[in-house]
Structure 1
Amino acid sequence: MSDLKTGGRFGAALREILADDTAFARHQEANLRPETVAALGAKIREHGVKYIYYMLPTVGSRTVAKVVPAKHFERNLKKGIAFHRTALTDLQTSREGELIGGGVAAHEFWGLPEPETFDVLPWDPEVARIFCTAYEPPHLGEVGGRLLPLDTRALFKAAHAGFTERTGLELRSGLEPEMTWSGPGTEVISKEDQSPAYQVENLEKMRPMYKKVISYAQELGLDMIEGDYEDDGQVELNWNYDRADLTAERMTTYRQICKQVARELGLQASFMPKPYNGKMGNGCHHNLSLWRVADDGTAENVIEDGRVELHVTELARHAIAGMLLHTPGSMLVMGSTVNSYKRYWDAGQFAPSGADWGLDTRGVAIRISSNGRMEYRLPDASVNPYLSHLYLLASIEHGLEAKLDPGEPGEHSEVLSGIVVPNTLGMAIEAFEADEYLMGAIPEALTKIFIQLKRDEWARYCGLITQWEFDQYWEAIP
């Protein structure tokens, strides 16, 4: 089997990580250090916390949790929280009635808390949340104690640590999550064919919302930097870039904040990729950079080298080529819903549809809008940020390892010629399976379940009779 089919160094390293049956025991040992137990107990008492959500993100970008009285925190540090395995696959039943991810008889997994992720919820200081890592229970024979591949958060953290060890580089990212708000007071009136974007009056309508979102986000550690009004009810609020695993975690937190603010204000908050025809879709551009971190903690952005004109370095060109080469194979992650592809079909709405790159142009997949930053524009707001970063990281490492060439801006190199980006979920499923490198790089246990979930979604959509079909065909055929 070729190195390409096994996912190169990236795939080999992840397989080694997932074969480690001492992972649970090492995490448990770290949790039970006296200083760790004492520090968490002090935080709980200091803030008057009475309840804790023990949380994990799912494959489908939701979050599952159990709530436990805070006084049991030491017990949970040791034993974790048990969840049915299919919680990580969104407890989704297929059209045939099978609970995807192992069925009703699937084993439980154990989620061990990560004490450093403890945060008090600003809207109710009696409640805190803490992220967990999912493991095979130690009693499960050969696989017991291993990291669960369906825990996309833990998987990306492990993959990124390995990437840094092999390359000396750290992936940093900043996200641009757009979302649509609706409800009393959010209505917008504008002239025909005129965008309501950037108008201060529209921001003013959203003032109660953005004040709460920004305030809660700041209390939960997000360095909020700017925001704007973009289309009917659509607002984008950004926080500062950071190491990619921290950015992905903050996206999970941001979604939780937005849903809470919507409840408080009697609004609806949606990350649906394309709510309306003729209006902007909800994208989630990933602004990426690669940093070489020295032993003393200083870091250098290797995407740029000090030139004034817009440019990228040779190393960045390799990374860009890797991301573009694997754009078809990763589209199922970047656009993970049936609705995602309506965003690309609606002409004139700034959503890219090709595997190309350019300097400060919005119609390409990767835009160099300023020196030191690669803006990957394909993901939408429903994306699982851990999965998107995982697939981008694997693609980047392939580009670096093989020294791939992306060609000049606006042109395709030989390695990128003939690439077709999927424009339906069905096409994306086919391209996902056809990418030998990514299929070898990402754990089979994860890709197998992900394909099953997406095939089921596509089949449900294909089998649904819509109002559009009635309007087109009910009276049209004599």
Structure 2
Amino acid sequence: MSNTIAVDRLETELAGLLTSDLSTGGRFGAALREILADTTAFARHQEANLRPEVIEAFAEKIRTNGVKYIYFMLPTLGARTVAKVVPAEHFERMLRKGIAFHRTALTDLQTSREGELIGGGVDAHEFWGLPDPETFQVLPWDTEVGRVFCTAYDPPHLGEEGGRMIPLDTRSLFKAAHKGFTERTGLELRSGLEPEMTWTGPGIEAISKQDQSPAYQVENLEKMRPVYKKLYSYAQALGFDMIQGDYEDAGQIELNWEYDRAELSAERLTTYRQICKQVARELGLEASFMAKPYNGKMGNGCHHNLSLWKTTEGGDVNVVEDGRVELHVTDTARHAIAGMLLHTPGSMVVMASTVNSYKRFWDAGQFAPSGADWGLDTRGVAIRISANGRMEYRLPDASVNPYLSHLFLLAAIEHGIEAQLEPGDPGQPSALIRDVVVPNTLGSAIEALEADEYLMGAIPEELTRIYLQLKRDEWARYCGQITQWEFDQYWEAIP
């Protein structure tokens, strides 16, 4: 590349940064603020729920399947799920008013080191979770129990603040953000997730020689046969299109399902975790999505395989590629990649959300990336371009909140496309990306998000404020712990 072209590209990148309204998060942030200011959201959702055809369809599903109990559920900031169980005959009342939770349920009812409930304290008001009827499903391990996801709102009786969607409800927030992204850009984000997880218990110990990986060996898959058979069965009953799976390390398996719209992929990961916990209970095993359970063994990643689609007269088109045979990406994809790489430091507190998450990046030779880089079909980078037209973002781990990770990625992608940012070529980062440093501890990740002016403007203030409070508290608790490693290093070694 000539010096003239390089200078021109750098000037284009800097101009894009200046015109993208960093402090307010560009069009992405403005659109979310408008959505969250809508005090009619609850009333419109309620009206839709009470249409006669909706009530009858819900009642028919209950009758047909013999459902007696229903979980009314919401995902939390910490990627868990909270719920209340309601006798099925009261479903119509739930469609009208929903289920009430203390507001701090969305922050996992986490108490700070100072003893205060994070997210509003004991005096925080309730929120109302209105069910989304289209998400109703019957649990295959007990068909008398159904479940339905809800959207969180401030109750209408709160006056001027009432009726608005709550930004801590990351599932509903991402759905709204994705809808707006598509309206502005004409693009739809689709994703396929690769959650790895570790199983322990009798009968599933790995077979391998010393200094040899147990990955892919059929005998190790055979040991996991009772596990994967139940997982496949339950997942398929809940609408997953399961496509493949493999054995990766001691007790670690990865089962994949077909990619889809990003909000559906995120929802399926939430469901998959519930399936795994149920299978573990039935088989007397333990199942963990902890990011790095053991030194010297693979961590549990959750690669996000991303593609951008446009609807045309000839059908849906993946704009990451343009039909050429050789491995490549389009200009649109390059801009999206640049946005994701530029905002990787600020996103890391979401992609690697626990203290343990960062141990995955310190263990050399374990296929976990540690930089803001990209490449063509290589597994040592943050974003790998695969032969089937996807951008594999390899930094998230299996403990990730998938709604929050997709929300941050979508904001970064829109910034890249809006400002026409350039990532440089594989192995030759642009001036914009060259000096990007990826955090390697939770503490530095917290600081990186606070320093990312665009993301702090794009993501709702209440969400970033409370999420960072949760993460600061976790980091402080960890830093205050005296570990066995410290005893081994210092107890007798210091004169």
1:116, 1:197 → 2: CA distance?
39
Look up the SS of the partner of 2:492 in the other structure: coil
The one of 47, 66, 78 aligned to 1:29: 47
Look up the SS of the partner of 2:180 in the other structure: helix
Look up the SS of the partner of 1:285 in the other structure: strand
Name the structure 1 match of 2:403: 386
Name the structure 1 match of 2:15: none
The yes-or-no answer on 1:171 pairing with 2:170 is no
Q: Which digits, 9 at most, give the CA deviation of each residue in 1:84-126, with x for residues without a partner?
A: 0000000000000010000011000000001100000000000
Is 1:312–1:371's contact at 8 Å kept on the other side of the alignment? no
Question: How many Å apart are 1:297 and its aligned residue?
Answer: 9.0
Name the structure 1 match of 2:392: 375
Name the structure 2 match of 1:365: 382
Is 2:76–2:106's contact at 8 Å kept on the other side of the alignment? yes
2:84, 2:253 → 1: CA distance?
31
Look up the SS of the partner of 1:52 in the other structure: strand
Q: Which digits, 9 at most, give the CA deviation of each residue in 1:152-207, with x for residues without a partner?
A: 00000000000000000000000000000000011113211100000000000000
Look up the SS of the partner of 2:328 in the other structure: coil
The one of 211, 217, 220 aligned to 2:238: 220
The yes-or-no answer on 1:182 pairing with 2:235 is no
Is 1:303–1:371's contact at 8 Å kept on the other side of the alignment? no
Name the structure 1 match of 2:13: none
Look up the SS of the partner of 2:58 in the other structure: helix
Matched ranges for 1:39-438 at <5 A = 39-294=57-312, 298-438=315-455
1:410, 1:365 → 2: CA distance?
12
Q: Which digits, 9 at most, give the CA deviation of each residue in 1:308-359, with x for residues without a partner?
A: 1100001100000000000000000000000000000000000000000001
* TM-score, length-scaled by structure 2: 0.95
1:176, 1:221 → 2: CA distance?
17
The one of 422, 441, 448 aligned to 2:458: 441
1:348, 1:417 → 2: CA distance?
23
2:323, 2:409 → 1: CA distance?
25
2:164, 2:58 → 1: CA distance?
25
Structure 1 window deviating more from structure 2 (186-195 vs 361-370): it is 186-195
The one-letter code sitting in structure 1 at the alignment partner of 2:151 is T
Note the aligned Cα RMSD (angstroms).
1.0
Look up the SS of the partner of 2:306 in the other structure: strand
Question: How many Å apart are 1:411 and its aligned residue?
Answer: 1.4
Structure 2: unaligned runs, 5 residues or longer: 1-17
Is 1:311–1:371's contact at 8 Å kept on the other side of the alignment? no
Structure 1 window deviating more from structure 2 (366-375 vs 96-105): it is 366-375
Look up the SS of the partner of 2:70 in the other structure: strand
Matched length: 477
Is 2:349–2:445's contact at 8 Å kept on the other side of the alignment? yes
The one-letter code sitting in structure 2 at the alignment partner of 1:383 is V
* TM-score, length-scaled by structure 1: 0.99
Is 2:197–2:289's contact at 8 Å kept on the other side of the alignment? yes
The one-letter code sitting in structure 2 at the alignment partner of 1:214 is Y
Question: How many Å apart are 1:143 and its aligned residue?
Answer: 1.1
| Runs of 4+ more than 2 Å apart | none
2:315, 2:73 → 1: CA distance?
33
Is 1:274–1:342's contact at 8 Å kept on the other side of the alignment? yes
Look up the SS of the partner of 1:217 in the other structure: helix
Q: Which digits, 9 at most, give the CA deviation of each residue in 1:131-161, with x for residues without a partner?
A: 0000000011111000000000000000000
